[in-house]
Amino acid sequence: MSILQNLPSIITAIGGLGVAAFGLVDSTKLFWGGANRIGFARIEEAVTALTPGAAARGLTQARIVDTLRANWYNGRDLASQQAIAKSLIKLGMNPGNAAALAEATGVDAATLQAVAAKIAAGTALSAGETDVYSRFDLILTALLDEVYQDCDQAYTNGTRMLAAVFAVVLAFVGGWVLKGGALIRYWWTKDMGEAVLAGLLAVPLAPIAKDLSSALVSAVNTMQLIRK
């Protein structure tokens, strides 16, 4: 009965452990990007394929990737990141890399090369060229949207997994300290199992611990009033 009565406090404590674990995940960002690096590799791969060779107007491929990395690390909203990526890719398009971009997006290479040349010269596009350039823009938007959505999901899942590892380690160490620091007496015991379980529950409970605890308290109080 005591466990049931203390359940709201237990849930709050486990949720607090999850918050602490997420805090440790954030602290890794101080070291060469840490958790921020999760998911960006695929963005870099996709953008590298869409910016072959040296880009035009002073934008090198490395600068484009560095700009997108900075936006990703700083947590800019996905819509803005996609828009910036698309703008930089289009800005970097030139007659030398237009054929590779056409192959990546499935549009006519010769026409896209002509478009790149006319954009660089400031010449108006023909109706056919405008149509090809519009299709290139739509396909590029779709490609970037897919990449960014997948990478965002990978980042979310990756940080949760990392937080779960931190939570389990923290709970394990906490249980070990309560056991007096004797690892032999602690290893593979009920106390260790409870600590590991608390660590596993910490991450999913962290966002809802306060609301769940309050709901349980309200439910208990309601049942007590009904019994009276």
Segment 112-121, tens digit of pLDDT: 999 999 998 9
Residue type, 190: K
Q: What is the mean pLDDT of the chain?
A: 89
Other beta carbons within 10 Å of 64: 22
Query: Across 133-142, 169-178, 209-218, which has the greatest mean pLDDT?
Result: 133-142
Q: Which two tokens stand for residue 112?
A: 């896209």
Instruction: Tell me: pLDDT of 125 over 90.
Output: yes
- Please, are residues 170 and 21 in contact by the beta-carbon 8 Å criterion? yes
Q: Which two tokens stand for residue 107?
A: 């549009």
Among 65-69, 89-93, 137-141, 209-213, name the one with the lowest average pLDDT: 209-213
The mean pLDDT of 221-225, rounded to a whole number, is 74
Domain ranges of the chain: 2-227
Residue of higher predicted confidence among 222 and 70: 70
168/166 Cα distance (integer angstroms):
6
Position 134 scores a pLDDT of 97
- Quickly state the pLDDT bin for 58 (edges 50, 70, 90): low
Q: Which two tokens stand for residue 82?
A: 């996609």
Give the contacts of 50 (CB within 8 A, at least 6 positions apart): 89, 101, 104, 140, 143
Q: Can you give the pTM of this predicted structure?
A: 0.84
